[in-house]
Amino acid sequence: MAGSDMTILRVNHLTRYAYRRPVGFGQHRLMFRPRDSYDQRLISSELKISPEPSDIFWIHDAFGNCVACADFDSLADALCFETTIVLDHTPQHSPHFRADEDAKTWPFQYDNETSPDLRPSMHRQYPDDVTETWARRFVNPLGPTKTATILESMTHAIKNDFRYNRRTNPGTQTPEMTLYSLSGTCRDFALLMMEAVRSLGFAARFVTGYIYAPARDTGENLGGGATHAWVQVFVPGAGWVEFDPTNGIIGNRDLIRVGVTRDPRQAIPLWGTHTGSRIDSLGMTVQVNVTSVGVKDAPTIIT
């Protein structure tokens, strides 16, 4: 049964591709389904696809994310994916750095049991000197630095010092480009922080999902209206801790995890192909709405 302090959130995610003429479609893969955990629990999920796929099935990828695979055997001049998700979200209103004693200050080393599992998340994808030099700004050169101070300061520095730009073209710019331009999208900021903490020896991974933005019109919680991205850092004793440098959020407040990956290229929410010429494509539109739902209006939760 649901607790009185729960937050019920509904996510409506619509993606529509338009074409000049009817085209065929290759397999499309969707990473829209949130990851069940102690702090978020999926209540219901509905997926509508038009035209109707000839086959649809689910898999877990290498990171344990839920991925829906849709195959098609018909032609159409539009392709539409719509999901409606309702989940029980338990926000953490303050940082929880229950770090092991040895990990409360930096530098530290992960233990021999954990290191083999974390090593892929410690490997830098963009080993440039610019990112490491920037990361060193948050370290005390005269002695040990509190681990929480490094991670909190870096999160807030990106929020305060960089300009958020909504970019329509796909992909993620390099951390070096983000530092030179002092601007980027949520994916750019997440990649910058991920690579920066990796340069200091932390294990970090990329997170794709949604953000609850009740005051979007006032500028609170950037990234609403589309999918969102942030980063997790592994702190011994605390585990994977959420950091959203776009909004300066530490912990999971307002953040709905869908997928975690080693690299942003592995966290594309929707990808697939169509037959025909590139000029057939008229573009893609995406709309994401995340709203709170009164407990009395929420679907029945089965435990």
The predicted-structure confidence for 79-127, as pLDDT tens digits, reads as follows: 999 999 999 998 875 556 678 888 999 999 999 999 999 999 999 999 9
List the structure tokens of 247: 């909004």
Confidence of residue 209 (pLDDT cuts 50, 70, 90): very high
Torsion angle in degrees (nearest 10) through CA of 216, 220, 225, 231: -170
Class of the domain covering 7-90+268-297: mainly beta
* Domain ranges within the chain, ordered by starting residue: 7-90+268-297, 101-253
Q: Which helix (H) or strand (E) holds 249?
A: strand 249-250
Q: Which helix (H) or strand (E) holds 148?
A: helix 147-161
The predicted-structure confidence for 224-263, as pLDDT tens digits, reads as follows: 567 999 999 999 999 999 999 999 999 998 999 999 999 9
pLDDT for 297 beyond 70: no
Class of the domain covering 101-253: alpha beta
Q: What is the CA radius of gyration of the chain?
A: 20
How many whole angstroms separate alpha carbon 232 and alpha carbon 78?
A: 36
DSSP β-bridge partners for residue 11: 85, 290
Question: Identity (one letter) of the amino acid at 148?
Answer: A
